Amino acid sequence: MPRIHLLVLGKGVVGGQLFAQLASERDRLRGHGEADLVLVGVVDSRASWFDPTGVDPRSARDRLRAATVRAPIGDLVQQLAALGNAIVVDCTGSDAMAEVYLRAFARGVHVVTANKLPLALPYAERTELLETARRHRVALRYETTVGASLPVIGPLQDLVRTGDRVVQIEGSLSGTLGYLADEVSRGVPLSIAVWAARERGYTEPHPRDDLAGTDVARKALILARELGLTLDLADVAVEPFVPTELLAEPDLARFLDGLAIHDAAFEGRLARLRSEGRALRYLATITPTAVRVGPIAVHADHPAARLRGTDALIAFRTARYTDSPLVVQGAGAGGAVTAAGLLGDVLAIARAQRDG
């Protein structure tokens, strides 16, 4: 049974859930001979701690709160690598992680990430990440960058590896925008729906960061690159969920007031859709030639029409799945499901270690 040493980057919602799952599942995993998962360090933007003997994950946040110094991540990766069987787990949303990954790979350390930004870097930089991991015979696993714990990246890679020809991928890839689309399609005013989503913690601190569609564009780009498309983020056609002029307001209160002014016009559009038996959904559409992200009116028989709340859906239409697409659907947002996806990727690396 392999002993796996974990250095976790980030201790927010996802990191906290990961600590809880490590604490609750470690004995069971050891008992079944799966892996001995040992948390040896945590880093956030303020401080860090590292203990090569490992600590109870339930105390990870307290240890970090008590820490007063943030060691250079490169030094921590070096200490981690010395332990062997090591994984860096990225729970951040930082745009500076690619260099950390490269340092980890060079020292034989695997990386598991929920952070979309390194995978949405310019194509050459993303390629360097994958090739460096391959050259050093370590894993870069990023299943949770699209769909939280839903199996999306793995099945798509299997389709491509086995020679299937992907004709189209269509997906509702944002739990936040899925929730908003469901609410407004049922008659809730746009401004009220956005306010409620923010109160529930579904949105970024400023909801315009969700409504702009950029996060969905990054996820779509990650999927498109799995098909071999040599695209960058600028190549993704993005239509925001709301009119572009509304997104220019940096002040949150004025932004919400602007949405309220737009409520009547938005509701008029939704009323027409409802009278036609259609619903509004925010979808990514990926084909071998183009990637588009934006609001789409779907009929009742469309797979996305039945989505409720923050559920995500990805439909693969391929040469083998022609008449009936391969559909993956389920909870697509939330700290617990994202942490579970990260833990699944960690266990996949441990399994490969165990089975040699």
In terms of domains, do 164 and 104 share one? no
Angle between helices 190-199 and 175-185 (to 10 degrees): 140
For 236-259, what is the mean pLDDT? 91
In terms of domains, do 204 and 119 share one? no
Q: At residue 333, does pLDDT exceed 80?
A: no
Q: Where are the beta strands (DSSP E) in 46-139?
A: 48-55, 86-90, 110-113
Helix/strand/coil for 118 = helix
Cα distance between residue 178 and residue 350, in whole Å: 34
Burial class of residue 67, CB neighbours in 10 A (0-12, 13-18, 19+): middle
In terms of domains, do 39 and 107 share one? yes
Q: At residue 356, does pLDDT exceed 70?
A: no
Q: Taken in order 171, 212, 232, 112, is the CA torsion positive or negative?
A: negative
For 86-115, what is the mean pLDDT? 96
Cβ neighbours, 10 Å, residue 157: 12
In terms of domains, do 191 and 317 share one? yes
In terms of domains, do 107 and 196 share one? no
Q: CATH number, domain at 215? A: 3.30.360.10
If one counts the domains in the chain, the total is 2
Cα distance between residue 191 and residue 220, in whole Å: 27
pLDDT higher for 300 or 7?
A: 7
Given the residues 219, 278, 281, 317, the one annotated as active site = 219
Cα distance between residue 161 and residue 157, in whole Å: 6
Q: What strand order describes the sheet that includes 140-141?
A: 48-55, 36-43, 3-9, 86-90, 110-113, 140-141
Radius of gyration of the chain (CA): 21
In terms of domains, do 37 and 108 share one? yes
In terms of domains, do 176 and 318 share one? yes
116 is catalytic: no
Give per-residue pLDDT as tens, 67-96.
989 999 999 999 999 999 999 999 998 989
Give per-residue pLDDT as tens, 287-299.
999 999 999 999 9
In terms of domains, do 166 and 102 share one? no
In terms of domains, do 195 and 342 share one? no
Q: Are 298 and 278 in contact (CB under 8 A)?
A: yes
Considering only CA atoms, which of 149, 168, 171, 172 is closest in space to residue 159? 168
In terms of domains, do 252 and 225 share one? yes
Q: At residue 211, does pLDDT exceed 70?
A: yes
Residue 309 pLDDT:
85
In terms of domains, do 27 and 164 share one? no
Work out the percent of the chain whose per-residue pLDDT is above 90. 69
In terms of domains, do 144 and 158 share one? no
Q: At residue 343, does pLDDT exceed 80?
A: yes
What residue numbers bound the domain in which 280 lies?
153-331
Q: CATH number, domain at 109? A: 3.40.50.720
Q: Give 111's strand partners.
A: 88, 140
> Among 86-90, 134-138, 205-209, which stretch is predicted with the lowest mean pLDDT?
205-209
